Structure 1
Amino acid sequence: MDSKTTHFGYQEVPLEEKAGRVAEVFDSVAARYDLMNDLMSLGIHRLWKRVALERSGVRRGHQVLDIAGGTGDLTEQFVRRVGPKGRVVLADINASMLKVGRDRLIDKGAGAHVEVVQANAEALPFPDNTFDCITIAFGLRNVTDKARALASMTRVLKPGGRLLVLEFSKPTHPVFERIYDQYSFHVLPRLGSLIANDADSYRYLAESIRMHPDQDTLKSMMETAGLERVEYTNMTGGVVALHRGLKL
């Protein structure tokens, strides 16, 4: 792969094409994204997000940015935590996902308390030192330039603020990894075909997980972006890892 190309799943594509291809995937799956998440993870994604929420340190009056927030499940919980004097911004590069998230938050009674912003994680449209906490859950692997995105997130964090990255990662046991591979490349596309009428998008999602940096590599990338005290916690045998870093 040269400097002008990047990965789209297992394919090598020109840099300028990746964002559009990722957008097509999420345009396709947006309407059934929550249902598919439940089916794909057997509902465990809710537990993973609950752990992220508890480790966010978010409290009343905080300003929170939920990047790649999609359907707004984390955003809704942050609204409850920050209270009327806090601020929560739901950001996503994909308009289809944002519409689903905004509608869902309105239905839940939280829509009036959330700012919805279409934004690219690589160039966040916020001033320096704005947010007490930034989260990106299952979104970093779809970003074209992950290092640039991490630097952008660090820039808009306040000193003392924290970034949490919840993402699929590398299973820690070889046997479990083989089982996980079978599930990802055979079961997920079939589920995608049956539920969302789109096997290709879910095949891409499985491939994008394999191309994402492993736990230690992502830790190093966060440190390079300027974050301190970076640590990660493996969940479900390393299928998912929660990385957390502070801006000092």
Structure 2
Amino acid sequence: MNDDSKTNQQSTTHFGFQQVAVEDKADKVADVFHSVAAKYDIMNDLMSAGIHRLWKRFTIEISGVRAGHKVLDIAGGTGDLSYKFSQLVGKDGLVVLSDINDSMLKVGRDRLTDRGVAGNLVVAQADAQYLPFPDNTFDCITIAFGLRNVTDKDLALRSMLRVLKPGGRLLVLEFSKPRSSLLNKVYDTYSFKVLPMMGKLVANDSESYSYLAESIRMHPDQDTLKSMMQNAGFSNVSYHDMTGGIVALHKGIKP
């Protein structure tokens, strides 16, 4: 491979099925989530028939979070996980609801305020690749349906490792690769035909939901992500397939 080819590969990345300049991806992802923020929760329920609540409940159960813990909820969006964690950590704990997108954070902050969450939860706009927290701060970090939108996933994983306490755990909940070829075909039809139509009808935005479907297909499969977490420095990395592998929960421990 010549130097020009290497330079070109390093300067572009995928945005769905498109190739875009690395420096442009974050803005393009931001535009998607600015667009979908107001209808995000409604669309999540419709897209998954409510099953996303079970995926998140399992994530909470695996987290091991208890009273007094500090939790970082990256790409926390509208605050589903943060709300549950705030109940678990109690008055002596802390939950940081973090997202790179200010529109999503505003929706999440307002929603959590309406639900009476106060005192042990703060909101922080932050890039997962460059987390603005001291080393060894958190007992648990979660990132649910957000890693696939990060430009440099390896950099983000190393950033997460840095701010975890030794013995702390990272949980990555993300769409993954269905195990059954038949399920994969059904899932493709749903993702590329039904999902954009649903986005058009409910959120008046088919393009953003087409991107979301494409971004899922570009995300590393279960074993690739497991290797990436191991290479970033996590130990005891494992994953649980859910709904036939449509979603997987990866867990890693900071040595």
Partner of residue 50 from structure 1, selected from 57, 80, 95: 57
- 1:75 aligned residue: 82
Per-residue deviation, residues 146-170 of structure 1 (Å, max 9, x unmatched): 0000000000000010000000000
Are 1:175 and 2:175 counterparts?
Answer: no
Corresponding residue number in structure 1 for 2:108:
101
Q: Counterparts in 2 of 1:45-194, with a 5 A limit?
A: 45-194=52-201
What is the CA deviation profile of residues 151-203 of structure 1, one whole-angstrom value per residue up to 9, with x for unaligned ones? Answer: 00000000010000000000000000000000000000000000000000000
- How far the C-alpha of 1:46 sits from its partner, in A, is 0.2
Find out whether 1:211 has 2:218 as its counterpart: yes
SS in 2 for 1:164: strand
Tell me the residue number matched to 1:16: 23
Question: TM-score, with normalisation over the residues of structure 1?
Answer: 0.99
Q: What's the CA shift string for 1:43-81, capped at 9, x where partnerless?
A: 000000000000000000000000000000100000000
Residue 243 (1) aligns with residue 250 (2): yes
Q: 1:219 deviation in Å?
A: 0.2
- Secondary structure of 2:10 counterpart: coil
CA shift at 1:115, angstroms?
0.8
**Which amino acid in 2 is paired with 1:239?**
I
Q: Distance in 1 between matches of 2:44 and 2:231?
A: 31
Q: Unmatched 5+ residue regions in structure 1?
A: none
What percentage of aligned pairs have identical amino acids? 69
Residue of structure 2 equivalent to 1:232: 239
Q: What's the counterpart of residue 5 of structure 1?
A: 12
Q: Which amino acid aligns with 1:74?
A: L
Shift of 1:114: 1.1
- Select 2:35's aligned residue among 28, 32, 35: 28
Moved over 4 A (4+): none
Return the offset for 1:113: 2.7
Aligned residues: 248
2:45 is matched with which residue: 31, 38, 51? 38
The separation in 2 between residues aligned to 1:147 and 1:188, in whole angstroms, is 29
Describe the superposition over 1:29-51 as per-residue Cα deviations: whole angstroms up to 9, x where unpaired: 00010000000000000000000
